[in-house]
Each structure stands twice: as C-alpha cells, then as structure tokens.
Amino acid sequence: MNAPLALPSDVPRVNATRFRQAHEEDWEQLDRIVSRMEKRSIRSLSDEDLLALPSLYRTTLSSLSVARDTSLDRALITYLERLCTRAYFQIYGVKTPAWRQLTGFFAHGWPSAVRALWRETLFCVALTFGAALLAYFLIRSDPTWFYSIIPQGLAEGRDPTASAAALRATLYDKEQDWLGVFATFLFTHNSQIAIFAFALGFAFAVPTVLLILYNGLTLGAFFAVFAAKGLAPNVTGWLMIHGTTEIFAICISGAAGIRIGLAIAFPGRAPRMDSAVGAGRTAATAMAGAVIMLAVAGLLEGIGRQTITSDGLRMLIGSTVLVAWLSYFYALPLRRANGE
C-alpha cells in the first residue's frame, strides 16, 4: 500500500466501487419494479418488467452473496439486504387476490375448519345444554337461584316474579322502532363475545369453557322462568328462530378457543410452537365464520323474530337454518384447496 499514487485516477480502488458500477443499474431496476408492486400490484407491471423480475431478483440476490464475501462497504450490503428482502416478500409472499381468498373461504376454508373442530364443537354444545339443564332444574326447584345466575340488568323484568301475561308480552310484542339498530347491536355485541371466546382459549381454554358454561346457564335460567308459567313451547319458538344459529356460532368460537388452549397445553408429537400455529390458523378461520353466522343470527333476531310471531313458523325457520348450517359444515363435499 505504499504506492497508491501510481494508480491512474479512473481505476476503482476498492471492490465495492467496481461492483456498484457493474450492477447498480440492475439493482435500481429491481427497486423500481418492487416499489411498484408494493404500491399497486403485480398487475400494474408491464410485460417486460414482469419477465425481467425473476432474473433481476436472482442477480441481486447473488450480488448480495458476492458483496458479503468481497466487499467491505456496509452501506452497500445493507442496501442489498433490504432490497432482496423486499423483493423476496413480493415474489414468494405474494397475495392471493381478495376475491379468490373470499371464494376459497366459503368453498372450503370455513367448512373444513369447522369440520376439523367437530370434537370441540360437540363438547361446547354438550356443555351449553348441560349447563342449561342444570340451571333449569335448579330454578324449577328453587326460583331464588335465578338471581344468582342472571344479573339484574339482563333480566329486564323477565324474572320468576313476573306474571304470565307480562312474560308472554316480551315474546310477542313488536318493537317496531329501532328494530334494525337493535339487530346490529346484538350482532356486534355477540361477535365481540365470539372473538373473546377465541382469544381467551390461549389461557389453556379455561376462560373459554367458563364463558360457554355461563352462556348455557343463562339459557336454562330464562327457559325455566317461562316454563314455570306454562310458556315452554312459546319461549322455544322465540329462542329457536335465531338461537340455533347464535348458539351454534358461540359454540364454534368456543371450540376454536378450546382448540388453541389444547394445542398449547398438549402439543402431542409436534413441537409446541408448530402445534399452536396449526391450531391458531384453523381456529381463526372458524372464528371469522362464527362472526358471519352471528350477523345472520342478528338479522333473524332483530328482524325475523319481530315480524314473525307464530311459534310454529319460528321453530320451522330455526330448524331449517340449523339444518342448512349442519349440511354446509359437515355434509358438503369439499374439493381440496389449491390456493390456500
């Protein structure tokens, strides 16, 4: 290094310079293409850019390897690392178009996720009805139990002291005003509970189980109040029109939470992390579906129930919807997904 002055001025002194001169154009072209893909989509690329992309990506990736081994210019290496990372995620992490994700969700993602959760779902359904029966028999034998199960605000006068006429009125009176708002409120409120049931599963499923249990107790308690006044068939119709969908949806989101809790507590042969990830993604799909079910339930409850007052028709609608859900989830032949 004692004779640097002997070099002519236009000969690069270090590799980084040589390297930059040789490849800078390629890198910049890749940068331009990737920026465009990030801003809009792969569709916005011209045919030439699209054809150039794979080879530019590989060139830049090999530039990175070479730069790491031959160059000491850290700014250059950092730049190449960032560019390659951005290009990698545009090329390999490419998004399925929104409409295809959506059709995929309805055609196989949702039903197969629910199907995969059948054990947990069955457990939640059994838990709901078990808790409902428990509450029912407790309150029939001693009505004071009602007050320890249902908070004052929720009952709105529908407690054991209410007269048969007053109870009957709550089942058939029309609340024409604010009907749609009421339905929407129910939907958002129930969906939030469904999301909680999913997320709480992380705590080894214990809070989720409690949530489902309490849901069942509430159901049984109200049923007992109405049944004591001889309104059992009427309240069944009132509950069924939306309840088949709503309780089923809550059970599925509970099942989703339980799946996560179990996957973390008992991963089996798979590593705990992998087990959690597999369960988490299936459960999330089922939970997103449960939110859709709750939107349907909100419509049935807020609008269907307010306009249809015949018990028979209410029960018929409730059972039809239930059969539709069951056949969609468990009987639909699923073709294997090619997208997701």
CB closer to other proteins out of 252 and 315: 252
Window 253-292: residues binding other proteins (CB under 8 A): 260, 273, 276-277, 279-285, 287-288
Stretch that binds other proteins, among 45-53, 80-88, 122-130, 222-230 (CB under 8 A): 80-88
Is residue 106 close enough to count as binding other proteins by CB under 8 A? no
CB closer to other proteins out of 280 and 304: 280
Q: Are 183 and 303 in contact (CB under 8 A)?
A: yes
- Residue 211 Cβ vs other proteins, minimum distance, rounded to whole Å: 12
Least Cα distance to 279 among 198, 335, 207 occurs for 198
Is residue 74 close enough to count as binding other proteins by CB under 8 A? yes
CB closer to other proteins out of 170 and 184: 184
Is residue 85 close enough to count as binding other proteins by CB under 8 A? yes
What six digits make up the tokens of 218?
A: 């509430």
Buried-state track 264-296, b at ≥16 Cβ within 10 A, e below 16: beebeeeeeeebbeebbebbebbbbbbbebbbb
Residue 181 burial (CB < 10 Å; 0-12/13-18/19+)? exposed
Q: Distance between CA atoms of 178 and 205, rounded to whole angstroms? A: 37
Is residue 70 close enough to count as binding other proteins by CB under 8 A? yes
Is residue 38 close enough to count as binding other proteins by CB under 8 A? yes
CB closer to other proteins out of 75 and 165: 75
Is residue 247 close enough to count as binding other proteins by CB under 8 A? no
Given 142, 156, 173, 340, the residue binding other proteins (CB under 8 A): 340
CB closer to other proteins out of 180 and 230: 180
Q: Are 67 and 76 in contact (CB under 8 A)?
A: yes
- For other proteins (CB under 8 A), the number of binding residues is 88
Least Cα distance to 298 among 194, 200, 208 occurs for 194
Q: Distance between CA atoms of 51 and 62, rounded to whole angstroms? A: 18
Coarse DSSP helix, strand, coil percentages of the chain, rounded to the nearest 5 percent:
80, 0, 20
CB closer to other proteins out of 141 and 153: 153
Window 300-339: residues binding other proteins (CB under 8 A): none
Stretch that binds other proteins, among 59-67, 118-126, 225-233, 326-334 (CB under 8 A): 59-67
Window 165-194: residues binding other proteins (CB under 8 A): 177-181, 184-185, 187-188, 191-192
Its sign, for the CA torsion 243, 248, 251, 257, is: negative
- Residue 108 Cβ vs other proteins, minimum distance, rounded to whole Å: 12
Q: Distance between CA atoms of 281 and 274, rounded to whole angstroms? A: 11
